[in-house]
Chains A and B, each alone.
Chain A
Amino acid sequence: MAGLLTFTSSSIYCAAANVHIDPWKPADFAIITHAHSDHAKPGCKHYLAHKDSASILRLRLGNDISLQTVDYGEKFSINGVQFSLHPAGHVIGSAQIRVEHKGEVWVASGDYKVQDDYFSAAFEPVRCHTFITESTFGLPIYKWRPQHEVMNDIREWWKENQLQDKASVLMGYALGKMQRLVKNLQPFDQKVFAHGAIFNVNEQLRAAGYDLPYIPRVTSDIDKKEYRGALILGTSSSLNTPWLKKFEPYSTGYCSGWMAVRGAKNRRSVDRGFVLSDHADWNELNWAVAETGAERVYVTHGYTDTFARWLNEKDIEAHEVKTSYGDEEEDVLPEEVVA
């Protein structure tokens, strides 16, 4: 008998329900773990996602998509297969998909992180027989410090820059990282501005009722003096672009798990790297796998071969799986999109 979920050339597929999870090619029925572009692709006839993903999915895929939303823990059946979504803690609305059929339970976790970021619902391990895990940071060199320590480092860096009358340009993914930063750095006693793409995400979320402060967007008619000592939120792709020019003099900070390695930081020629990730680190991946009680693990995007081998050596049956996930680097929202 084939597994409840299978890995096809276009998705993680549930044949019994004829449902695709995070398909990277157009499908009839797609359940989406979260709204990042490598997991939520356009062209599907029908989408199902957590209700907190709705506003960003519409921003990204269009207002006219056919979208059904559910809450965490809400059970629903398709062709006799039972589904429910559970918090993955990655970004707002991100969910692990629990699939149950004839007593067999699988969980596809999409992307997840374990530390609570106080904006997305915090990760909850879900007991299952088979667990599908990411492995973006599946190497023991990746170990995150507590979030509040990193936030303190960022505040200190901002303060140092203020003393030198510099702008502080803080960069990271528009969806997820930026809201996490805003929630955890506020209240602000100095001016804060956002790149258009971040502004759009924030405003979309605010319009949908989420608790975020208003942060004005960077526009060409703002007096450059306004940026002295200010915090500017930039997308991960604004690094080394002319967009930065208007903030001169400035210091750049980049928030990502990759910043744990000097080489990765230096390669981006950024002044400061802040090790802050929306993915699980090595210890958290191991913890999450253990908590699910899974007897079998499929490892998708990241250090798949390494993490799978490690689990096998720990007597947990694990397999490497090829998917199209993990390309968040190119995850840029068009700035022109009107929120």
Chain B
Amino acid sequence: MKQFTNLFLQLDRTTKTNEKVELLKAYFLSAPEEDKIWALALFTGRRPPRPIKSSQVQEWALEQAGIPQWLYRESYSSVGDMAETISLLLPASESTSEKTLSEWFRDFVTLAKKTDDEKKSFLISAWRQLSPYEIFVFNKLMMGSFRIGVSQTLVVRAVSEVTNQEAAVVTHRVMGHWDPMTTTFKELIHAENLADQHSKPYPFYLAYAIEDELDNLGQPTEWFAEWKWDGIRAQIIFRNNELYIWSRGEELVTDKFPELHAFADFLPDGTVLDGEILCFSNERPLPFNVLQTRIGRKNVTKKILQEAPVALIAYDLLELEGVDIRKQPQEYRRQALENLYNSTPTNPAFRLSKLLDFQNWDELKALHTQSRENTAEGFMIKRKAAAYQTGRKKGDWWKWKVDPLSIDAVLIYAQKGSGRRAELYTDYTFAVWDQGKLIPFAKAYSGLTDAEIRRVDHFVKNNILEKFGPVRTVKPKLVFEIGFEGINASTRHKSGIAVRFPRMLRWREDKPAEEADTLDNLKQILNGYK
């Protein structure tokens, strides 16, 4: 545990990628064998089972610290993290512990079945033998909210360098189903032939936003262009008579989309498709929020299946007849995809991403302005010679999104952020005018520079009108241009409108609050967008 805490502490101290990889490598070289698999599980977002309810953890911590609930809440709002807040509140520990990471986890597993009293005495005795920083890491592990500034890519890099394996192989092995309780590090990483590999998706190839002028991409004939859809990026895998659907978040989402189960009836064995899952109605894709409400549901009802069924818009083929064809050029894979599509019976759930017809870049630019009418976010531009790469890579795939919709709105509520922004008022609610009143319509957290955040924070602190729990009502004075990706009518919002991905485009210091936009302006955008 000390070694893992130390790793955590050191990772937390550096922002440099190379240093992080070095630290991870040192850990994977020197950690106890049985700890490695747990560390790998944590770093790849596999939540360990939560043995104790967080409300109980909190209650027992307050008892130990001797402070009331409200003071805990105040403390929490300054720290922004429960595990850390508790580690700072608890009295200093009296002894030390040599337990390893895996020993603690094995304790957690047996703990789940124990009585509350047993859980409580376990927890208090654990806290008493750990240092404040160990308590912090311990709480994080226990409460299954383990996040650290280390991406899966970095961990894969470290593991692959330490074990002398290709990064792609490690990525492939780390993704998918395995359980640190039953799998060893050796089995997962080193085993020659892994038995159950059929379910595993390929690492997704991700595009960067285009930075340059289109004209600098070279000949238009070397490129494909397609609409960029606002859905869920997914791979559909059919191997050994089993269908698997993986989202880009590396989640297995097969059960969420029964409409796509028919793919098992017509896909040839050994097929992997890459595409976008979207809801459709009357042959038109629906906005993302329809899909979003659906994903949130445990069960997909008949009503949903009828009103907003999903379909896959396929745009790439990664495996054909059991052969990995990712190294083949885009053009080849596209042709293979079309052949596959044409040879399967028509099914409304299987659609082919349309290639856009353009002779020169100007034609493409003209088409781009029609993105919104086509319910698209813009274009994907792919080099015909491109291989299907791993992760976010520049050069061959570009996304070219339409400019966000925007409106000038007034800051009316502020709340302190969490994590690295816990001391500052960084979470804002914005409003537009309606008959002399300000109607809130969006919350936004991002888009300002650190220097701007400090200035807004300073303004908030000096202009608080009222306090409601952690929320502060602020004198309506500051105006920001709020950008968003989509807009929909909503009965759940006071404004009657819900916007997607709101963010601050800029601070309109030139604009007095009275001149901010109105609800009518928002409604016009809504009507124009439909």
Q: Do A and B come from one complex?
A: yes
List CB contacts (< 8 Å) of A269-320 with chain B. Answer: 269, 271-272, 303, 306, 309-310, 313
Whether B296 sits at the interface, judged by CB under 8 Å, is no
Given contacts A261-B84, A263-B418, contact A140 B67 (CB under 8 A): yes
A266–B12 contact, CB under 8 A?
yes
**Inside 8 A of A141's CB, which chain B residues have their CB?**
75, 78-79, 85, 88-89
Whether B81 sits at the interface, judged by CB under 8 Å, is yes
A263–B74 contact, CB under 8 A?
no
**Inside 8 A of B450's CB, which chain A residues have their CB?**
267
- Report the separation of the CA atoms of residues A260 and B136 in the bound assembly, to the nearest whole angstrom: 12
- Shortest Cβ distance from A249 into chain B, in angstroms? 11
- Shortest Cβ distance from B435 into chain A, in angstroms? 34
Q: From the candidates B12, B15, B75, B423, name the one contacting A264 in the complex (CB within 8 A).
A: B423
Whether A258 sits at the interface, judged by CB under 8 Å, is yes
**Inside 8 A of B420's CB, which chain A residues have their CB?**
262-264, 266-267
Whether B419 sits at the interface, judged by CB under 8 Å, is yes
A258–B423 contact, CB under 8 A?
yes
Whether A59 sits at the interface, judged by CB under 8 Å, is no
**Inside 8 A of A101's CB, which chain B residues have their CB?**
none
Whether A139 sits at the interface, judged by CB under 8 Å, is yes
- Shortest Cβ distance from B6 into chain A, in angstroms? 14
Given contacts A261-B79, A263-B418, A264-B423, contact A303 B74 (CB under 8 A): yes
Q: From the candidates A143, A262, A269, A309, name the one contacting B15 in the complex (CB within 8 A).
A: A269
A263–B80 contact, CB under 8 A?
yes
**Inside 8 A of A263's CB, which chain B residues have their CB?**
79-81, 417-423
Nearest B residue to A306 via CB reads: B74
**Inside 8 A of A260's CB, which chain B residues have their CB?**
88
Whether B65 sits at the interface, judged by CB under 8 Å, is yes
Whether B376 sits at the interface, judged by CB under 8 Å, is no
B84–A262 contact, CB under 8 A?
yes
- Shortest Cβ distance from A302 into chain B, in angstroms? 11
| Residue positions of A touching B, CB distance < 8 A | 139-143, 258, 260-264, 266-267, 269, 271-272, 303, 306, 309-310, 313
- Report the separation of the CA atoms of residues A27 and B72 in the bound assembly, to the nearest whole angstrom: 41
- Report the separation of the CA atoms of residues A266 and B12 in the bound assembly, to the nearest whole angstrom: 8
Given contacts A261-B423, A263-B421, A272-B13, contact A139 B78 (CB under 8 A): yes
**Inside 8 A of A139's CB, which chain B residues have their CB?**
71, 74-75, 78
Whether B468 sits at the interface, judged by CB under 8 Å, is no
- Shortest Cβ distance from B141 into chain A, in angstroms? 16
- Report the separation of the CA atoms of residues A75 and B67 in the bound assembly, to the nearest whole angstrom: 40
Nearest A residue to B70 via CB reads: A309
- Report the separation of the CA atoms of residues A261 and B416 in the bound assembly, to the nearest whole angstrom: 14
Whether B519 sits at the interface, judged by CB under 8 Å, is no
Nearest B residue to A260 via CB reads: B88
Interface string of B445-462 (1 = CB under 8 A from A): 000001000000000000
Q: Can you list 8 A-B contacts (CB < 8 A)?
A: A140-B65, A141-B89, A261-B79, A263-B422, A264-B422, A267-B420, A267-B424, A271-B14
- Shortest Cβ distance from B57 into chain A, in angstroms? 16
A143–B88 contact, CB under 8 A?
yes
- Report the separation of the CA atoms of residues A310 and B68 in the bound assembly, to the nearest whole angstrom: 9
A306–B13 contact, CB under 8 A?
no
**Inside 8 A of B13's CB, which chain A residues have their CB?**
271-272
Nearest A residue to B79 via CB reads: A261
Besides A140-B89, A258-B423, A263-B80, 6 more A-B contacts (Cβ < 8 Å) are A140-B67, A141-B78, A141-B85, A263-B419, A266-B420, A271-B14
- Report the separation of the CA atoms of residues A303 and B88 in the bound assembly, to the nearest whole angstrom: 17
A313–B68 contact, CB under 8 A?
yes
- Shortest Cβ distance from A153 into chain B, in angstroms? 12
Nearest A residue to B149 via CB reads: A266
- Shortest Cβ distance from B426 into chain A, in angstroms? 10
B71–A310 contact, CB under 8 A?
yes
Pick the 10 closest A-B CB pairs, nearest first: A141-B88, A263-B422, A266-B420, A263-B420, A267-B420, A141-B75, A306-B74, A263-B419, A139-B75, A264-B423
Nearest B residue to A266 via CB reads: B420
Nearest A residue to B92 via CB reads: A143
**Inside 8 A of B81's CB, which chain A residues have their CB?**
262-263
**Inside 8 A of A313's CB, which chain B residues have their CB?**
68
- Shortest Cβ distance from B16 into chain A, in angstroms? 9
Q: From the candidates A143, A261, A306, name the one contacting B422 in the complex (CB within 8 A).
A: A261
- Shortest Cβ distance from B134 into chain A, in angstroms? 14
* Residue among A142, A260, A267, A269 with the highest chain B CB neighbour number at 10 A: A267
Nearest A residue to B72 via CB reads: A140
**Inside 8 A of A262's CB, which chain B residues have their CB?**
12, 81, 84, 419-420
A267–B89 contact, CB under 8 A?
no
- Report the separation of the CA atoms of residues A271 and B10 in the bound assembly, to the nearest whole angstrom: 10
- Shortest Cβ distance from A318 into chain B, in angstroms? 14
- Shortest Cβ distance from B264 into chain A, in angstroms? 47
**Inside 8 A of A309's CB, which chain B residues have their CB?**
70
B423–A306 contact, CB under 8 A?
no
**Inside 8 A of A261's CB, which chain B residues have their CB?**
78-79, 84, 88, 422-423
Interface string of B107-140 (1 = CB under 8 A from A): 0000000000000000000000000000000000
- Shortest Cβ distance from B465 into chain A, in angstroms? 14
Nearest B residue to A271 via CB reads: B13
Nearest A residue to B461 via CB reads: A326
- Report the separation of the CA atoms of residues A260 and B81 in the bound assembly, to the nearest whole angstrom: 13
- Report the separation of the CA atoms of residues A331 and B321 in the bound assembly, to the nearest whole angstrom: 69
- Report the separation of the CA atoms of residues A139 and B419 in the bound assembly, to the nearest whole angstrom: 17
**Inside 8 A of B89's CB, which chain A residues have their CB?**
140-141
A306–B71 contact, CB under 8 A?
yes
A140–B71 contact, CB under 8 A?
yes
